[in-house]
Amino acid sequence: GGDHQRATARALATLSRREGSQLELLEALLDGGAADHGISGLRIDEELRWAFLQALAAHGRVSLDQLDAELAAKTTARARIAHRLAAAARPERRVKERAFGQALAGTDDAGQELSNDHLTATVEGFTVAGDPEIAAVIERQSEAYFEALTEVWERMSQGQATRVVSGLYPGAQDLEVGAEPTEHPVALRTQAWLEANAEAPAALRRLLIEEQDQLLRGLRAQASAQA
C-alpha cells in the first residue's frame, strides 16, 4: 500500500499501452489476483482500473463491449473520459481512422462537440500503438495532420486547437543508424510547413517549432546512443 505503490502501478499501466510483457499481470490485478503475484495492499480504484483497461484495450485484450459494460456499471465523468481513451486505443485500423477524424473535427460520431477532456482522450487514445502495424496506420495520418493545421487553428478555440496540434504531432520517431536527425522525414515536413506558412498565427507556429525541437532532441539522443 501507499503512494509509491500506486505510482508504480500507474506507470506500469501507462508503459503497458505500448509494451505488452505485463498484460497478464494487469489482467490478474483486475480480477483480484494480486496476491498470486506477491502484491498486497494495492487498492484498484476507478482511476487505476481504467488505466489497466486502457492498456489491455491497446493490445486487443478488452473488447468495446467490455469497455461499455465497465462504463455502464459505474458511469462517472472520469469514467466517460477514460472509456473514450480506451476505445480509441484499440488496435484496429478503422478505430484509429475514426479517432483521428474525430480529433480533427472536434466532434463525436453524432456531430456533437467534444469537451476539452474528451478531445484530449480521443487524441491520446489515437496515438497509442501496441504493435507495429497499428503504428504504421497512425503514421499514415501524418500528411493529413499537416494539411489540416491551419484549418483546425481557425475553426477551434485556441485551447482545443492546442490539444490537437500538440497531441497529434507525429513526434515519436526512430532514427535509422547513421542518419542525420535534421534529415528525418517528419523533421523535414515540419520545416517545410513552417517555411510555407510564414504568415500563420504566431501561436500555431510556436507550437510547431516546440514540437519540432522536441522531436530533434529525441532523434539526437538516439544518434548519440548509436555512436
pLDDT at 131: 84
pLDDT digits (tens, 9 = 90+) for 137-185: 999 999 999 999 999 999 999 999 999 999 999 999 999 999 999 999 9
pLDDT digits (tens, 9 = 90+) for 16-43: 999 999 999 999 999 999 999 999 999 9
Query: Would you state the cell numbers that stand for residue 103, as one nine-digit string?
Result: 480529433
Q: Which residues pair with 107 in a beta bridge?
A: 113
Cα gap 143→112, rounded to integer Å: 26
Contact call for residues 29 and 12 (beta carbons, < 8 A): no
Cα gap 114→103, rounded to integer Å: 9
Cα gap 119→142, rounded to integer Å: 18
Mean pLDDT of 199-212: 97
pLDDT class of 79 with cuts at 50, 70, 90: very high
pLDDT class of 7 with cuts at 50, 70, 90: very high
**Is pLDDT above 90 for 130?**
no
pLDDT class of 1 with cuts at 50, 70, 90: confident
Residues 169, 105, 135, 197: what is their CA dihedral angle, to the nearest 10 degrees? -30
Mean pLDDT of 176-198: 96
Ordered DSSP codes for 25-56:
HHHHHHTT-GGGGT--S----HHHHHHHHHHH
Residues 178, 180, 181, 183: what is their CA dihedral angle, to the nearest 10 degrees? -130
